[in-house]
Amino acid sequence: MKSIFACSTASLKEINEDSFCVVQNDKIPINVIAIADGLGSHKHSEKASAFVTSYLKKFFEELLEIESLNFDELFKATKLALIEDTKNNPELNLDELRKGSALSTTLICIIETESKYIIAYVGNGSAWQIRGSFNQFSANRYLPWNSINLLNPHCVEEGGKSALYKYISISEAQYSPTVLSISKNQFSPGDCLMVATDGIYSYDGVIVGKDDDGKIWISGEETMELFFKEISALLVGKSLELSNEDLKFALDRYLQELKDKKLMNDDCTIGIIIPEVVLRYQHNILENKQPPSTDEANPSN
């Protein structure tokens, strides 16, 4: 499975409450990115996000087969492990912390197999299915329409603000994940999967309103425009030569640009998986060729 994949995180705060892990398990084979966003209003949430991503990293590195994986059981096991870890931490008092709000985090996990992508999540953030032709639009197209956020946040509105009702925590909060399975587009142009915390994008943070004439408008997020430009610049010219390290560098540069343009108002974590079929499609664009045939896009056929 010849994909490139990477993740990056950044923050303006002294403590970044986001965390992530990246796993390549060649035994199955699978590629995994998991990101967690500690709830800022809860105590020690940076410890929760760091623990759950570390737990999932070990779990997926040791996983021997994917077919029977039950995400309800996995997220429950992650929660119970977090509770046990807190109980055994001499610096924390589990009973006292449970009286308030503490050690809570969102969790989004994306898995690439040979034939599909799997998304499992609790909380908010985003998970984008991005066609490999996302950068083949005219300049007046602000954002590509063939890039879709599939993550519907586990939020309710309280007092005019969104509040999470599902997340991983030492509390009694709901933790059963929403799970989506997407058959991979094996032929050109293929599709990527991108995941991000709400510091970059989440539906519950998108502004919707009406203009003076009563017409509905939806804001376009500049963070996403810059993301598409960064990934396009990375792919054009050397897509077949790219490594995970090249992709990581591009994501680091993207987050730095958010800082420089003062678009980073929260902890920001982003990861993406780009399969070989997309890399080949982008290579053919550079070569001024027609998009590859299905046989060229899927050399295993």
Q: At 285, is the pLDDT very low, low, confident or very high (cuts 50, 70, 90)? A: confident
Secondary structure of the chain in HEC code, one letter for each residue: CCCEEEEEEECCCCCCCEEEEEEEECCCCEEEEEEEEECCCCECHHHHHHHHHHHHHHHHHHCCCCCCCCHHHHHHHHHHHHHHHHHCCCCCCHHHHCCCCECEECEEEEEECCCEEEEEEECCCEEEEEECCCCCCCCCCCCCCCEEECCCCCEEEECCEEEECECEECCCCECCCEEEEEECCCCCCCEEEEEECCCCCCHHHCCEEECCCCCEEECCCHHHHHHHHHHHHHHCCCHHHCCHHHHHHHHHHHHHHHHHCCCCCCCEEEEEEECHHHHHHHHHHHCCCCCCCHHHHCCCC
CB 182 within 8 A of CB 205: no
**Separation CA 196–CA 208 (nearest Å):** 21
The pLDDT, as a whole number, for residue 218 is 61
Residue 216: pLDDT over 90: no
CB 20 within 8 A of CB 35: yes
Q: Which residue has the higher pLDDT, 143 or 247?
A: 247
Mean pLDDT of the chain: 92
Does the CA dihedral 100-103-106-111 come out positive or negative? negative
pLDDT at 1 over 80: no
The whole-number pLDDT of residue 210 equals 74
Closest CA to 99 of 26, 181, 171, 177: 171
146 pLDDT tier (thresholds 50, 70, 90): very high
| Residue 162 confidence (pLDDT) | 85
| 238 band by pLDDT with thresholds 50, 70 and 90 | confident
- Residue 289: pLDDT band (50, 70, 90) is low
Q: May I ask the CATH class of domain 4-288?
A: alpha beta
pLDDT of 141 reads: 81
Model pLDDT, residue 220: 62
Is the pLDDT score of 282 beyond 60?
yes
Cα 214 to Cα 210, 211, 279, distances in angstroms: 5, 5, 44
pLDDT in tens, 52-75: 999 999 999 999 999 999 999 999
Confidence at residue 159, expressed as pLDDT on a 0 to 100 scale: 82
Centroid of chain to Cα 215 = 32
Q: Is residue 287 predicted with pLDDT exceeding 80?
A: no
6-19 pLDDT per residue, tens: 999 999 999 999 99
Contact at 8 Å (CB) between 71 and 86?
no
Tokens standing for 111?
């898995």
Q: How confident is the model at residue 230 (pLDDT cuts 50, 70, 90)?
A: very high
Asked if 135 contacts 227 with a C-beta cutoff of 8 angstroms, the reply is no
Can you give the pTM of this predicted structure? 0.91
Q: What is the pLDDT of residue 288?
A: 61
What is the pLDDT, as a whole number, of residue 294? 42
pLDDT at 292 over 50: no
Distance between CA atoms of residues 17 and 45, nearest Å: 6
What pLDDT sits at residue 157?
Answer: 87
Q: Is the pLDDT of residue 270 over 90?
A: yes
Domain extents for the chain? 4-288
Please tell me the distance from the alpha carbon of residue 18 to that of residue 45, in angstroms, as a whole number.
9
Question: Across residues 263-268, what is the average pLDDT?
Answer: 94
Give the tens place of pLDDT for each residue, 173-215: 999 999 999 999 999 999 999 999 999 999 988 767 777 777 7
Between 245 and 216, the more confident residue is: 245
Lowest mean pLDDT among 101-105, 113-117, 169-173, 282-286: 282-286
